[in-house]
Chains A and B, each alone.
Chain A
């Protein structure tokens, strides 16, 4: 679903490599944690998947698109295949929960009937049934992140990217949020989540790709946050 072939990135010639010869293959339906310290290249990696950033070298393939050959006017077609969730929720403060989620469908030209059907369905998926009329500031952080996940998923994209989605949340709420992502993944969506939340990674035991100074230093199935060296 997402393939990176010897991908390197640097923002300016004088800068060190933000990503250095990264090889990665995330298959359809997989759940993958990308872990590493701040500045290790996690966000840069996710930004390349949604073509916010083009690699300096190497090849990226996402949902059948070779991003190196994707014309700028077709980038939006790639982004429709990818839901994105951020640490800071990025909700529209003047719109209700329902309106925030419906906004995506409206922007993409969906009809009223489709919106009436899909928005409550998606709010149910993230456990926000009955809260459609609330404004974001009336919700807890966890609930706001659920709205953000609903917004990312309402268009049923095959890929969900989450960049530190639990960064602003307490441990219990973080676990609830990742449980929702896990449920979405079990329904068939490929999930890639960048995090440095040790507890979460250790708890869910998914594939872990660890970055350090822009290099993949570990790619482990059902891994924990830190590599356990067999003795």
Chain B
């Protein structure tokens, strides 16, 4: 079969079954989009974990006039002596404590107002209710318990908080998102497989006269199957291209744009997946789509097109 004739056959096939072609394109697009989101979310967890863990600290929040629940706050807001005591205790914990700095009530309030500048609730929060804190970096973040045991009951300490817990919640969320997206992707891939099979069956029916003639005059099974397979591959490639474009837009405008600015403003945690991660998974998405199309089409053809 000559390339010109083959392309003509593929073009005719696509025209005759245009609505099915469009549905295969769309289902492939949606399934690959979810697959991409799942893979990017996994990549996000992996790339961010190391960096974020290094940057997170243990925060020792000091008492404010409002904090009365904690045992260390029985005497009200933290006093200068209590603060100095905490600081010298921290120095005593070297080498576990590699670094610490003090964030005063004024600095904390400033950061708070910056973060919530768009919130109407800001005015109702008085400056003294925002606690001062010691931000502590540990040589081994897993030994957070040592810090907690040392300071949780100390006078002037309201609470000890491991930021890793916050970050772990984020990772748990991302992990769930990733698995959710992958599960949806699997469901959509099943849809794609079924739809491709049905499309092949339908196309085989509309072209049964042609294929019967091809068989009769001695066309090989391969050349009878080839136009069907190429049509499916074209649809899958188009679906993959649309999915990659959609993922690119999500990464470019959603993550690198919106989310990155949001996080940079709040916590300085900016290690997010980017376009590079997308380009890394693109060959797998496109290759997977083509492989899926070829295998599904070939299997369906063996069932529905007699050669």
Contacts and interface: CB of A to CB of B under 8 A. Distances in A.
B2 A109 contact: yes
B215 interface: yes
Given A79-B215, A92-B209, A106 B5 contact: yes
A87 to B, nearest CB: 14
B146 interface: no
Contacts of B219: 76, 107-108
Given A76-B220, A78-B218, A80-B218, A109 B213 contact: no
A77 interface: yes
A104 B211 CA distance: 11
Interface in B277-307: 307
Contacts of A50: 216
A78 to B, nearest CB: 7
Contacts of A92: 209-210, 213
A103 B218 CA distance: 12
B154 interface: no
Contact of B218 (A79, A90, A111, A151): A79
A107 B218 CA distance: 9
Contact of B213 (A78, A80, A103, A111): A103
A133 interface: no
Contacts of A81: 218
Contacts, number: 52
Contacts of B307: 76
Nearest to A80: B218
Contacts of B5: 106-107
A90 B217 contact: no
Given A90-B209, A92-B209, A107 B214 contact: yes
B1 A76 contact: no
A104 B213 contact: yes
Interface string A96-134: 000000011011110100000000000000000000000
Contacts of B214: 107
Contacts of A84: 216
Best-surrounded residue of B2, B213, B216, B307 (most CB of chain A within 10 A): B216
B204 to A, nearest CB: 16
Interface in A153-178: 155
A79 B216 contact: yes
Nearest to B216: A84
A77 B2 CA distance: 18
A109 B212 CA distance: 17
Nearest to A92: B209
B221 interface: yes
B223 interface: yes
- From A76, A90, A103, name the one whose CB has the most chain B CB atoms within 10 angstroms: A76
A73 interface: yes
B197 to A, nearest CB: 23
Contacts of A155: 217-218
B217 A108 contact: yes
A106 B223 CA distance: 11
Q: Which of B212, B217, B220 has the most CB of A within 10 A?
A: B217
Contacts of A78: 218
Interface in A38-80: 50, 73, 76-80
Given A79-B215, A90-B212, A92-B213, 19 more contacts: A50-B216, A76-B218, A76-B220, A78-B218, A79-B216, A80-B218, A90-B209, A90-B213, A103-B213, A104-B213, A104-B217, A106-B1, A107-B5, A107-B214, A107-B223, A108-B218, A109-B1, A109-B223, A111-B2
26 contacts: A50-B216, A76-B215, A76-B218, A76-B220, A76-B307, A77-B218, A78-B218, A79-B217, A80-B218, A90-B209, A90-B212, A92-B209, A92-B210, A103-B210, A103-B213, A106-B2, A106-B5, A107-B1, A107-B5, A107-B213, A107-B214, A109-B1, A109-B223, A151-B213, A151-B217, A155-B218
